[in-house]
Every structure is written in structure tokens, then in C-alpha cells.
Amino acid sequence: MSRSALIAILPGDGIGPEVTQQAVRVLREVAAQGGHQLAFEQGLIGGAAIDAEGSSMPQQTVSLCSRADAILLGAVGGPKWSDPEALVRPEQGLLALRKKFGLFANLRPVCPNPRLNDASPIKPEYLDGVDLLVVRELTGGIYFGDKERGEAHASDTCRYGIHEIERVVRLACALAQRRRGKLTSVDKANVLETSRLWRATVDRICGKEFPELEVEHLLVDAATMHLLTRPRDFDVIVTENMFGDILTDEASVLAGSLGLLPSASLAQSDGDHAFGLFEPIHGSAPDIAGLGVANPYGAILSAAMLLRHSLGLDAEALRVEAAVDAAIAAGALTRDLAGPGGVTTVAVGDAVIAAL
Ligand code: IPM
Ligand code: MN
């Protein structure tokens, strides 16, 4: 990274602002230590943007993101904007952003920290050695197909073009190659046409371009079970948009808290760095918003992914990840992990920065 990089900060709703603030502190510290120039500019998205501008993704936010090298986002949504009949919804802003910037590949790593085994309801012997990466297709499928709503009927169309499947499968294969060489593709090919196209495409691409990978197909219903009964067996899981949404919330149970998990949503790239949006996988948690107790590790680890995938600063990403491990080892745990004795969001940021 030679010139100054611009990071768009979109805090969003609920606990979004609290957790992104800690992630930005960590990014500033890493940049200062490594002599990197990072600039931050804040934009509105979600409910906060609806309140201020009447739109969940104002034009100003779009142009900020267009100028930026990467986006760091908190969370969107909340009861204030969740009337089922509402015309504008916070989530639309996030979906529009994903679509607008072609962020088709959503990477969600799950690597439980053994120190947090007690926070997971899963027996420790199942968690030992779990290290998996879900690659969720993010700009196609039922999220983006035609929608209809009549008086007495409603429909959401699930559509996939072959190119949309190919590019995400290729990326997942390339990632599997650099890991343990195993790819699990999850679909519902016994029922859905889109899944049959998905499965045929996985077989063709893996057979021709990645013959060294071990490839497994799982139906999504079975996958939900296998994810908890044999989580260690998974390396890279690739799946379509909605299955990936559901499976990654489930996978967070392995890590002990939804608050721990980061994600990267990447656009197509020609070289090593891809434009991306980085966000914790948790939601806006309105029940604890403003209390200063939200877990910022997911946001901080998303910032690490931003350093790695969009800025090409892998060493810095590893330093942030090591600092998170050290902070966890030092007992900097919010209440989702430690119960009522948990520390504050800011205290976790302090601990990570101290470890850096
Ligand atoms: C996620 C979220 C979003 C999704 C919502 C907020 C639209 O649940 O990133 O997993 O369903 O993709
Ligand atoms: Mn989700």
C-alpha cells in the first residue's frame, strides 16, 4: 500500500456505532505503528439514514463508498423501522450496497478460540480443531429475484445465472487450495432447479480447474446437522445466498457468540486486493444498544479482514488477530461471553490496543 487509503465508515444502527468505533481505534493504531496512511470518512446507512435522509442508502453514502478503498460497516435494522408494511427498510440499504458494488463473495471464517469453549453450548470435544470458512454467494438468489405481493399471495423468485455461480465457486476453490484442500458445496438439489445448476457447476469447475481438491456435496438440511455434529470435517463451505445466511448464524454457535464473527464481502478483483465491505455478522442488537456492553471483536476482526483483503496488509491483519487472541486470553470479555461480570465495549478496545 503506497498512497493513503480511504476507508468509508458506515456505523448504521443499534450497536453498530459502538462496535465500529473500537474497530476504527484499532485500525488507527495499526496504521500509526506501521507508518501507513489511512483516512476515515463516515456515512449514513440503514435506519439512521432513513431518519436523516429518508433513504436507507443516500446518494452521499454511495459516492463516499465509490471513492473509498474499502467499507467498514456496523449493523443495520431495529424495531423502529421493522413494520412489515414499511416502504423503506434499513436492510434495503445494505442489500443495495452489496449489489451496487458487486460484492458477490461473502467470506465468514469460523475458528473457535479454545479459551471460549465454555461459551458454546457444544461439547468441547466437538470444537477442538474447528477451522472453517463459509463462502456465501451474496448478490444473487432469492434475495434479489423478482418479488410480488398481492392481497392474498406473495412470491420471491430464486434465480441464478451460471456466471454468478462460477465466480463464487472459483473463489471458494482458490481459497480451499490455500487451506486444507477440501470444498463442501451446500445446496438443495433434490428440490430446487437453481441448486441443480449450482451442483453441476461445482462439479464442472472443480473437475476441470481444481482436480486436486476434495469435493463434497451436502443438502442444506443435512448440512445444518453436520455443522454441529462434525464441524471439524469442514474446510471451505460454498453455498448460495440464503443458505449461507442461515448456516453462518448457526456456525457462530461453535465460536461461542455471534459477536465474535467477522465477515468480508468482496468484489471481483484482477490482482491481490479486492474492493470490499467488512462487517461483523451480528445484527444491530437493539436490546443492548447504547449500553456500552456490545462485543466489538467481530467488528475488530472485520477490520483485520479489511487490512488483508482490500489493503494487502497481511502482516498487519495477523497482528490484529494476534492482539484479539491476547485480549481474550487476558480476560477482556463482554457479557455475551462472560455473563454479568463482562467488561465494556471500550475496555475490549483498550485491551486489543494494549496487546498491539
Ligand atoms: C447478514 C444479515 C443480512 C442478510 C440482513 C441484515 C439483510 O442477516 O448479513 O447476514 O440477510 O444478508
Ligand atoms: Mn444474517
Tens digit of each residue's pLDDT (9 = 90 or more) over 278-289: 999 999 999 999
Final residue of a structural domain among 255, 276, 309: 255
Final residue of a structural domain among 205, 240, 255: 255
- Length of the chain as a residue count: 356
Asked if the structure places residue 81 within a domain, the reply is: yes
- Indicate whether 128 and 235 sit together in one domain: yes
- Indicate whether 125 and 71 sit together in one domain: no
Cβ 321 under 6 angstroms from ligand 1: no
- Indicate whether 230 and 296 sit together in one domain: no
What's the CA dihedral at 174, 176, 180, 181 to 10 degrees?
A: -80
Asked if the structure places residue 86 within a domain, the reply is: yes
188 annotated active-site: yes
Asked if 90 and 46 touch (Cβ cutoff 8 Å), the reply is yes
Cβ 227 under 6 angstroms from ligand 1: no
- Indicate whether 249 and 309 sit together in one domain: no
Structure confidence at residue 321 (pLDDT): 98
- Indicate whether 91 and 127 sit together in one domain: no
pLDDT tens per residue, range 83-130: 988 889 999 999 999 999 999 999 999 999 999 999 999 999 999 999
Q: Is residue 207 scored above 70 in pLDDT?
A: yes
Residue nearest to atom 12 of ligand 1 (CA): 245
Structure confidence at residue 273 (pLDDT): 85
Give the count of domains, the chain.
Answer: 2
Asked if the structure places residue 318 within a domain, the reply is: yes
CA of 90 to the centre of ligand 2 (A): 14
pLDDT tens per residue, range 31-46: 999 999 999 999 999 9
- Indicate whether 58 and 176 sit together in one domain: no
Q: Is residue 290 scored above 60 in pLDDT?
A: yes
Asked if the structure places residue 269 within a domain, the reply is: no
- Sequence-distant (6+) residues with CB within 8 A of 288 are 15, 294
- Indicate whether 71 and 147 sit together in one domain: no
- Indicate whether 127 and 228 sit together in one domain: yes
Q: Which ligand is nearest to the CA of 141?
A: 1
CA of 3 to the centre of ligand 1 (A): 33
- Indicate whether 128 and 250 sit together in one domain: yes
Residue 90 CA, closest ligand 1 atom number? 6
Asked if the structure places residue 268 within a domain, the reply is: no
User: Which residue among 56, 245, 263 has the greatest number of ligand 1 atoms within 8 angstroms of its CB, and so is best to mutate?
Assistant: 245
- Indicate whether 230 and 147 sit together in one domain: yes
* pTM for the structure as a whole: 0.96
Structure confidence at residue 1 (pLDDT): 59
Asked if 44 and 56 touch (Cβ cutoff 8 Å), the reply is no
CA of 245 to the centre of ligand 1 (A): 7
Asked if 167 and 130 touch (Cβ cutoff 8 Å), the reply is no
- Indicate whether 92 and 170 sit together in one domain: no
Asked if the structure places residue 144 within a domain, the reply is: yes
* DSSP code at position 287: T
Alpha-carbon distance of 279 to 263, in angstroms, equals 5
Q: Where are the alpha helices (DSSP H) in the chain?
A: 16-34, 46-53, 59-67, 90-100, 124-127, 162-177, 193-209, 220-229, 241-255, 297-309, 314-329, 335-338, 345-355
Asked if the structure places residue 210 within a domain, the reply is: yes
CATH of the domain at 242: 3.40.718.10
Alpha-carbon distance of 214 to 233, in angstroms, equals 12
Structure confidence at residue 87 (pLDDT): 86
Average confidence score pLDDT of the chain = 96
User: Which residue among 56, 71, 88, 95 has the greatest number of ligand 1 atoms within 8 angstroms of its CB, and so is best to mutate?
Assistant: 95
Asked if 211 and 240 touch (Cβ cutoff 8 Å), the reply is no
- Indicate whether 297 and 187 sit together in one domain: no
Alpha-carbon distance of 217 to 257, in angstroms, equals 27
Alpha-carbon distance of 249 to 172, in angstroms, equals 19
Alpha-carbon distance of 308 to 310, in angstroms, equals 6
Please give the residue range of the domain that contains residue 66. 1-103+285-356
Alpha-carbon distance of 269 to 181, in angstroms, equals 22
Structure confidence at residue 168 (pLDDT): 98
Strands 236-239 and 182-187: parallel
Asked if the structure places residue 280 within a domain, the reply is: no
